[in-house]
Chain A
């Protein structure tokens, strides 16, 4: 099995898994916060926040990638500050691929979480408050367990989206084998050279397998969590 894929193909697969894993993990806390705010709080600029979150879904990915380059590149406002203060560079690094994937997957994650939070009866949260629970404890002991199925679904969706991200990633971090060449970038690269159809096809099969595996796993996890939560 291990020699079915060439070293370059392995590299692309492992990098994609790593990028998607961190993109999902790091965006989850912010995703929960934003989804909770959109579902439960009334505040000025709520619509603006909603639009901003969903923008990457509508914009051409290349535009998102270019905006990232402008903002987070060495010369960019945030990127320059990050580099000068902490020596952190995102553009043309795998960490930049994580940022691009996280932003592109964020709308899907927030949507799933928001639906899950809206489905939790606020009366249960009120009941918890009358029993002495603070807001944080209400969230961790009532809201969070109840949204678990939605959270799992949202995380898997985000992971799958991150695995498939291409446009913003290639614009922001380019397509450097071993560093920023993710699975889709590798497929694209193989298709550009003569004789690359075979490795490209192998990576296509891998992509399909990973996507299906992720969906099946999420279905199974969400069903188990729903059973636990339904109280039966």
Chain B
């Protein structure tokens, strides 16, 4: 367990009572703004001392308010990537990147050249932060945190201040980070899209409490999560492998429950990836549909139905080893007499598996 948090803290009207554990990989702290996410990450970094808490990092107890044991921020070895970057304006990009290295006692795991290469900032080293774009600044901030030889990376909404083009520019680098380093990441976000793309573990915060936590695929395909994610954003995340590229411009992906086709991807066959299938992009059918233009039809078994406040019903299905979510009307659910245990065909509109929703993984 790379991080374990058990804390209580009063924050204005909000009473935080949060306990969770983060294994390796990317653990997303997900919740609306004001749910207490930043307070948690600041407590892990030591920038804030909760009213009572026990936090351990990489097997070391860094805070125990009961015994008064507290490791100061500078000795916690956390690489903090702030929402606003916080690059040192008087230092060059190179000096910013190497800032933490002068205090690091551990032998360097990564070099400046490797990190600059990974983040695509090799050409910026002699510039000043003032001459960088928002996306470049944030990549430098990530590199600076990485080069301080951290035991964990803490990222507080690192993309929230960027426009969607800049977000798209940085997300692949975060995926590379997840896949090519073994540093665990605690990632604070209120964006379902980011969480679906990056997270291996999801911890859901609501009003200062952890309401759900577990592997990303499970949490995101939980019909009870739909209320928190919002019906537009609800959807399952499935691990997939690139099978082959077809001549007609489609790429075939293998998921545990069958095959999916989507517009050509650049990743070579054999690459592991993830697809996100939004619940409102799934149509259900009792019979195997014929004469339908949709290419992607997966056979599944209904696990559960959840009625929401509106006219919709969320249907959770088992599809191979993975789970799928579909959002249909209550009228259809009644007309089809859907019951848990029923076999069903899930029709997925090909366009719905958009390229931006496919993350390397």
State the A residues within 8 Å of B (CB): 121, 123-124, 126-134, 137, 141-142, 145-146, 228-232
Contact = CB atoms under 8 A, between A and B. Distances in A.
B130 interface: yes
Interface stretch (B76-84, B232-240, B296-304, B334-342): B76-84
A229 B90 contact: yes
Contact of A128 (B45, B79, B99): B99
Specify which of A130, A142, A145, A229 lies most central, judged by the most chain B CB atoms within 10 Å of its CB: A130
Contacts of A231: 87, 89-90, 128-131
Contact of B130 (A126, A127, A142, A230): A230
Interface in B64-98: 72-80, 82, 84, 86-90
B74 A129 contact: yes
A145 B90 contact: yes
Nearest to A138: B74
7 contacts: A126-B73, A130-B47, A130-B73, A131-B99, A132-B74, A145-B90, A146-B89
Pairs of residues from A and B, 9 with the lowest C-beta to C-beta distance, nearest first: A132-B103, A231-B89, A231-B130, A131-B100, A232-B130, A130-B80, A127-B86, A129-B73, A231-B128
B229 interface: no
B73 to A, nearest CB: 4
B37 interface: no
Interface centre among B79, B84, B87, B103 (most CB of A within 10 A): B103
Interface string B118-146: 00000000001111000000000000110
A127 B79 CA distance: 9
B79 A130 contact: yes
B201 to A, nearest CB: 23
A33 B90 CA distance: 22
A145 B76 CA distance: 26
Nearest to A127: B86
Contacts of A146: 89-90
Contacts, number: 71
A132 B89 contact: no
Contact of A123 (B45, B84, B90): B84
A129 B90 CA distance: 17
B90 A131 contact: no
Given A128-B99, A146-B89, A134 B74 contact: yes
Contacts of B103: 131-134, 137
Given A132-B103, A137-B103, A232-B130, A127 B80 contact: yes
B86 A232 contact: no
B104 interface: yes
Given A137-B103, A232-B130, A232-B131, A130 B45 contact: yes
Contacts of B45: 130
Contacts of A131: 74, 79, 99-100, 103, 144-145, 148
A132 B75 CA distance: 6
Given A126-B86, A132-B104, 13 more contacts: A123-B82, A124-B86, A128-B88, A130-B74, A131-B99, A131-B103, A131-B145, A132-B103, A134-B74, A146-B89, A228-B90, A231-B89, A232-B128
Interface of B: 45, 47, 72-80, 82, 84, 86-90, 99-100, 103-104, 128-131, 144-145, 148, 154
A124 B74 contact: no
A79 B45 CA distance: 50
Contact of A229 (B75, B79, B89, B131): B89
A133 B74 contact: yes
A132 B90 contact: no
A230 B45 CA distance: 28
B150 to A, nearest CB: 9
Contacts of A145: 90
A228 B73 CA distance: 29
A124 B99 CA distance: 12
| Max chain B C-beta neighbours (<10 A), residue from A121, A129, A131, A132 | A131
A230 B131 CA distance: 10
Contacts of B88: 124, 127-128, 142
Nearest to B72: A129
A229 B89 CA distance: 6
Instruction: Indicate the member of A128, A229, A231 with the most B CB atoms within 10 Å.
Output: A231
Contacts of A141: 99
A178 B36 CA distance: 69
A51 B63 CA distance: 39
A123 B86 contact: yes
A126 B80 CA distance: 10
Contacts of B78: 130
A128 B74 CA distance: 8
A129 B45 CA distance: 10
The CB with the most chain B CB atoms within 10 A, among A126, A132, A141, A145, is that of A132
A198 B80 CA distance: 67
A127 B82 contact: yes
A45 B128 CA distance: 41
A130 B44 CA distance: 11
Residue with the greatest number of chain A CB neighbours at <10 A, chosen from B45, B77, B90, B129: B90
A229 B128 CA distance: 10
A137 B104 CA distance: 13
A136 to B, nearest CB: 11
A130 to B, nearest CB: 4
